[in-house]
Amino acid sequence: MFFLDHAWLIPVLPAVAFAIILLVGKRLPGKGAEIGITAILASLVLSLLAAAQWIQRVNDAGAGHEGALGFFTTLGRSIAPRAATAGGEHAAVVEPVIHSITWWQSGSTTFGIGTHIDGLAVALVVVVTIISSLVQIFSLEYMRGDRRYTHYFAGLSLFTAGMLNLVVAENTLQLLLGWEIMGLCSFMLIGHWWEEQANSDAALKAFFTTRTGDIGLLVGISIVFFGAGQTFSIYETNEMATNGQISHLVLLMASIALFIAVIGKSGQFPLHTWLPDAMAGPTPVSALIHAATMVVAGVYLVARLYPVFYDGFSIGNGGVNPMVLIGGITILIAAALAFVQVDIKKVLAYSTVSQLGYMVMGLGAGAWTAAVFHIFTHAFFKALLFLGAGSISHSGSHHSFNMKTSMGGLRKKMPITFWTFIIGTLALAGIFPFAGFWSKDEILVAAGANGYSTFMVIGLIGAFMTAAYMTRCVYLTFFGEYRGGDHHGDVHAPDPALVGALHASEGNEELTLEHDLAVAHDDHGHGVPAHGAAAHGGHDEHFEPHESPLLLTVPLMILAALAMFGGLLNAAPFGIEKFKDWVEPTIAYPEFAHADFSYSKAIVSVCLALAGGVIVFALYQRDLGRLRGLTRRSRLASAGYTFLWNKYYLDDLYEKGVVYFIKKPLAAAMYWINQHVIDGVVNGVGRGSVGVGRWTYRHIDQQVVDGAVNGAGLAAGSSGGFLRTLQTGRVSQYGALLFAAAGIGALILVIVV
Amino acid sequence: METLSDHNWVLSAAVFLPLVGVVAMLLIPRSEELLHKLVALGTALATLGIGVFILFTFDYDRAGTLQYTVNTTWIDVIHSRYIVGLDGISLPLLLLSMVIVVLVLVYSLNHIPDPGNPKALFILILLLEVGMNGTFVAQDLILFFVFFEVVLLPMYFMIGVWGGEQRKYASIKFFLFTLFGSALMLLAFLALYFKTGAASFAIADLAASSSSIAHGTQLLIFGGMFMGFAIKVPMFPFHTWLPDAHTQAPTVGSVLLAAILLKLGTYGFIRIAIPILPDAAVSWAPWIGLLAVIGIIYGALCCLAQTDMKRLIAFSSVAHMGFVMLGISTLTSYGLNAALFGMVAHGLITGMLFFVAGSTKERFHTLEIKRLGGLLLQAPHLGWILGMCVMASLGLPGLAGFWGEFPAILSSYQPAPGLSEPLFRTFMVVAAAGTVLAAGYLLWLYQRVAFGEPSPEFAHHEIHDVELPEWLAWTPLLIGIVVFGLVPNLMFKLFDPAVQVVLGLKG
């Protein structure tokens, strides 16, 4: 089992690549990109081989071999496995492969860093390395000529390394390491074009918001650490939580704390606001963040430490818990926001938030396998959609992401991008038999079966909305007339039918348009011939949309294939449950109930999705029909639109409320206290002791005392004497001051001792 | 006592070797600036050589035991002895002190602050090293006190002569404030000696007989030490000398102050106050913890209100030392290990930040945040180094700062027996929230200084990037930040056995 035992190589290779790129990348012919791509491809191969060996291990266990029951060690102690035949349903127990070396120690206890490889970890490393490889290959062309090309690839490598480290982490502290490294990398990459303040603002926002959630992570890890008898080990923690060796109250507190971190990292309501802003980074970065790293980390944390949450939130009881609730809310509020976006990447960003809501809701409803499966499938189609958006901006819309001013009618100009994007959309919308259908359907069925019917309905509504906003997005991008080309002409003479109808009353049409321009951004190379002027024509020349080169379209096609067929790994009606067999843990996790596939529910959800898509498509084909100008006619619609447009005013609450309060009045008040109250006391004491000193030590040279007075800074104006004393009376002055201090001390001695 | 090692000369050499350089420099005329630089640097390097020797001869399996001990008569009349020794707590700090002095001197090769006179400046730095090294190895309270005070004067002159515009106020404030604390500390030492009736001022003697003192008196004695150490740390609300001293001090002074001098206070808690008066420590711990977390939040908020980069970094020390003190206040091995790691990490990171601030000031002649910008465009290496230090300072895992912060938070979940769990768990949450504020002020600083376009004021200035002396002085610190961040056990392994001894958990 070489590749399972040496899984540490998987995160280490990209990490080493990061260091090499930083040190020598600029001097290499490929500017460092070749190092990053070589490393990630090597990791990909290692991941696939590890996956093969894991599957082998599972099959061996199923066949009754002892191979899977082998020993493993954690810090030299071996852990007694749960009785191999316990649980009835699982005939065989497949132990994770755990290795670790000493990382640090305290109180003669040592803490390790290492790998904890099981089905979940294997599934995730495969996804992460696939997506990261494709993203890096895509970036070769997409970022060509960027002024920080080398740093960009260094950042991607470290980002991937951080996620892989988190996935294979043997303990929670190591998980935290990966978690925070990703925070750093998202900061670097979102703010990649930091010359513009909007970009660095977005980077800061991402870092702060997730860092706010991280309060919960720091606290939660500490609680779990002590709850599990002073160990960070994920395996031991899970086992103890599953066996009821940790009190429910401790697990509840830990769950709440950890879940706050999940809310921050995985963009759940109400801390989802950083994710759409994170679109300021280059598009391949968005694909990486949204599909395989960063935001998935939160969901992964829940899946990884599921026994903690399972007991802490009493998930097995079928009651409403914070996780299922937040997940459900997030599905709907994010889907609603996706309807009013004009920036294609923001539509996708909100769809990510919404889909993460499905995962969190699924985990909250006890649908562990389904939720993990959704992480798996979502990665493929979301990466596909983001890279598709990148391809559009690269070759179709003149580096813009504004669907209304720069796109439209791209269907014929960019056929590969179009068809792959359609496949991604169908998968996202959950249409049979695309990948998203299987995982989303599984979540809904399991939620229903586990007693969370309300949330199953929310999921169905979400499916309807998903199909609808994605259809809007596809229509605006690929159908209708091309609205790009000469920017200026379009800005001032927008297609009245579209702009007017879509979301603006006549009164604020101009305003909305300005908004569109302000909020939509572009992936320009920022001042350098980023994408090659020769290939695209100059900025003000006529721009003709065309299909992207193969370096961009081949990753799209690969992802499209995965988005089409990836879901078939777990297609219950066809009798395939490979994903469940390979990934579902058989030890140290609770027993998961599995609902049977339900044709009726599947048909309902697909029909809802189809209906959402068809209705929106028809509306747009008819120029919105009677809905046109609705916000003008109806106050309610107008208010609703404004509410959505302002993102529920959450950003205002955070930025103009909380952050402003801390940054301005609170900080200023503290500093005022510092300067006037505390320092006032200090200066007062200084003044007082000088007074005492003067009274007591009249016999000491007048000049020395003056020096002390002046020096105490109280008589700042007349302090000329100080320098003189500095030069002439050093020793005597020091002596005098020491005496003064000792005198005070003696006084206290007399009084208190 | 002298059975562990035959090398019992090394500690005395490590402490007093800089004096040789001082004497040599006194004999060299002031105008020979280059010679002064070389002599000072040579002396510091020789001292560091002794440190390296210690590194190779130290018995790591007995890191909890004092090694290289010398115990001989010193001032018989007051029963004070010359006792020096080195264990796992002292070793990293002693080495840090030696390394920082070398790096400061390297940096000074082409950065002599106004009004010049490298002879005097370097003599002061070497004198400072005597005091710092001595403090970290002294095992007798009077000896400790002497070294502790020796540090004061060179720094006082460094700020007073080579400082900024407000140097007079800042230096006197620094001097008086710390002197005030020292007086109370000395008083506490004396009271301890007389009340215990111990045979000498040796820490070991006092610790062995301190339980004979009434608890109330112990509390007062601890209070005296607390004042001495807390002012040096500095803890809220005794911190106001620090921003002034840091802001006014020349770059090398700020670096020494941040990297080493602040550690003398926290070191005093761990080396003296806690082992000698463990019971009083338990009574004081909640208050120390409270002041520590106030310091974390308060320091961070004050940082947010700053307009000057150097002053901001100075206030960040208040917050960071809050984490160190929080760790100490838990009286657990996690907490003390965290505190010790935090001390070294803060020395490396904040020392680096002051270096960068000094070099920024040298290039732009201002540190006013709103006038800066686009550092990454004008001096990319300087900008990236600042970025790395900022990340290290906000406690990013994988860099050294994390290992001072997280274990401190962790330890407050379960403080030592006798301490209130709900109280310390509250501290834990507040301290964790402090990490967000730290990210706030550091990243805002970074955004305004490094991101964006250069401000029009400096857009056409020729800003040179990092130069050779700067690289030489900084690279060891940067490597340390990364290596200790990735392999923290390099230090925990040293601290841990000694911490067990301090807490009386072992041996």
- Report pLDDT digits (tens) over A92-139: 778 888 888 888 888 778 888 888 888 899 999 999 999 999 999 988
Give pLDDT, residue A74.
39
Chain A residues closer than 8 Å to B335 by CB? none
Pairing of strands A109-117, A97-106: antiparallel
pLDDT interval class at B135 (50, 70, 90): very high
The pLDDT of residue B424 is 92
Contacts of A211 in chain B (CB under 8 A): 435-436, 439
Q: What is the pLDDT of residue A515?
A: 40
More reliable by pLDDT, A450 or B54:
B54
A–B interface: beta-carbon pairs under 8 A:
192
Measured between beta carbons, the chain A residues lying within 8 angstroms of B496 are 105-108
- Of these ranges, A704-718, A734-748, B86-100, the one predicted with the greatest mean pLDDT is B86-100
Least confident residue range of A94-98, A367-371, A648-652: A648-652
* Residue A538's pLDDT band (cuts 50, 70, 90): very low
> Side-chain half-sphere of A116: how many Cα atoms within 13 Å?
25
Helices (H), B116-166: 118-137, 141-150, 152-162
B276 has pLDDT over 50: yes
The contacts of residue B371 (CB under 8 Å, 6+ apart) are B364, B455, B457, B458
Q: Is B165 exposed, middle or buried (0-12, 13-18, 19+ CB in 10 A)?
A: exposed
CB contact under 8 A, B406 and A191: no
Distance CA B188, CA B198 (A): 14
- Give the whole-angstrom CA distance, residue A188 versus residue A200: 9
Cβ atoms of residues A339 and A347 within 8 Å: no
Token pair in block for residue B495: 């601290």
- Compute the mean pLDDT over every residue in chain A, rounded to the nearest whole number: 77
The pLDDT of residue A530 is 39
Q: Exposed/middle/buried for A492, CB within 10 Å: 0-12, 13-18, 19+?
A: exposed
Judging contacts by C-beta atoms under 8 Å, the chain A residues touching residue B453 are 195
pLDDT at B95 over 90: yes
**pLDDT value of residue B208:** 86
pLDDT score of A540: 44
DSSP 3-state helix, strand, coil percentages of chain B (rounded to 5)?
75, 5, 20
Q: Residues A32-43: what's their mean pLDDT?
A: 88
Q: Which residue of B has its CA nearest to A713?
A: B169
- When pLDDT is cut at 50, 70 and 90, the band that residue A725 belongs to is very low
Closest-CA distance, B336 to chain A, in angstroms, reads 9
pLDDT (0 to 100) of residue A535: 38
3-state secondary structure B404-453: HHHHHHHHHHCCCCCCCHHHHHHHHHHHHHHHHHHHHHHHHHHHHHHCCC
pLDDT tops 90 at residue B51: yes
CA distance linking residue A739 with residue A699, whole number of Å: 13
B403 neighbors A104 (Cβ within 8 angstroms): yes
What per-residue confidence (pLDDT) applies to A71?
41
DSSP track, A598-631: -HHHHHHHHHHHHHHHHHHHHHHHTTTGGGTTHH
**pLDDT value of residue A534:** 35
Nearest neighbour of A737 by CB, restricted to B175, B376, B377: B175
**Conformational region of residue A244, where left means phi above 0, alpha means psi within -120 to 50, and beta covers everything else:** left
Higher pLDDT, B147 or B3: B147
Q: pLDDT tens for residues B308-334? A: 899 999 999 999 999 999 999 999 989
pLDDT reported for residue A737: 61
Average of per-residue pLDDT across A286-314: 88
Residue in B240, B304, B492 closest to A678 by CB: B240
Residue among A106, A177, A686 whose CB faces B398 most closely: A177
Query: What distance in Å separates the CA atoms of residue B355 and residue B358, rounded to the nearest whole number?
Result: 5
Per-residue pLDDT at A745 exceeds 80: no
Is the confidence at residue A73, as pLDDT, over 50?
no
Residue A576's Cβ-count burial label (10 Å; 0-12, 13-18, 19+) is middle
3-class secondary-structure state, position A523: coil
Q: For residue range A494-503, list pLDDT tens digits in order.
A: 333 343 334 4
What count of residues does chain A have?
753
- Whether B370 has its CB under 8 Å from any CB of chain A: the answer is no
Q: Best residue in A104, A196, A661, A730 to probe B by mutation, most B CBs within 10 Å? A: A104
Asked whether the beta carbons of A168 and A54 are under 8 A apart, the reply is no
A58 vs A686: which has the higher pLDDT? A58
pLDDT in tens, B344-384: 999 999 999 999 998 888 888 888 888 888 888 888 889 89
Residues 173-212 of B with CB under 8 A from A: 173, 175-177, 179-180, 182-184, 186-187, 191
Contact B439 A211 (CB under 8 A): yes
**What is the gyration radius of the CA atoms in chain A, in angstroms?**
31
Greater model confidence, A525 or B496? B496
Report chain B residues whose CB lies below 8 A from the CB of A108: 496, 500
CA distance A173 to chain B (A): 9
- Is the backbone of residue A493 left (phi > 0), alpha (psi -120 to 50) or beta? beta
Which among A177, A708, A744 has CB closest to B397? A177
Chain A residues with CB under 8 Å of B157 CB are: 726
- Chain B residues whose CB is inside 8 A of the A106 CB are 333-334, 337, 407, 492, 496, 499
pLDDT value at A276 more than 50: yes
| Closest chain B C-alpha to A208 CA, distance in angstroms | 7
Strands (E) in A245-299, as ranges, are: none
The answer to whether residue B148 neighbours chain A at the CB level (below 8 Å) is no
Q: B-chain residues within 8 Å CB-CB of A663?
A: 304, 440, 444
Bridging pattern class, strands B80-86 and B67-75: antiparallel
Task: Say which of B169, B304, B396 has its CB closest to residue A716.
Answer: B169
Separation of alpha carbons A707 and A730, rounded Å: 10
- DSSP state, A28? S
Compute the distance between CA of residue B486 and CA of residue A81 in angstroms, rounded to an integer.
32
Number of H helices, E strands in chain A: 36, 2
Handedness of CA B155, B156, B162, B166 (dihedral sign): positive
Q: Tens digits of per-residue pLDDT, B17-46? A: 999 999 998 888 888 888 988 999 999 999
Q: Which helix (H) or strand (E) holds A29?
A: none
ipTM, interface predicted TM-score of the complex: 0.90
pLDDT of residue A42: 92
* Least confident interval from A45-49, A688-692, B8-12, B398-402: A688-692
B199-258 pLDDT, tens digit each: 888 888 888 888 888 888 889 889 999 999 999 888 888 888 898 899 899 999 999 999
The rounded distance, in Å, linking the Cα atoms of A514 and A493 is 13
**How many CB atoms sit inside 10 A of residue A666's CB?**
15
Arithmetic mean of pLDDT over chain B = 88
Nearest CB among B220, B391, B439 relative to A752 is that of: B220
The pLDDT value recorded for residue A685 is 75
Find which of B149, B165, B172 to mutate to test the A interface (most A CBs within 10 Å of its CB): B172
CA angle B297, B136, B113 (to 5 degrees): 70
Task: Label residue A295 by pLDDT band (50, 70, 90).
Answer: confident
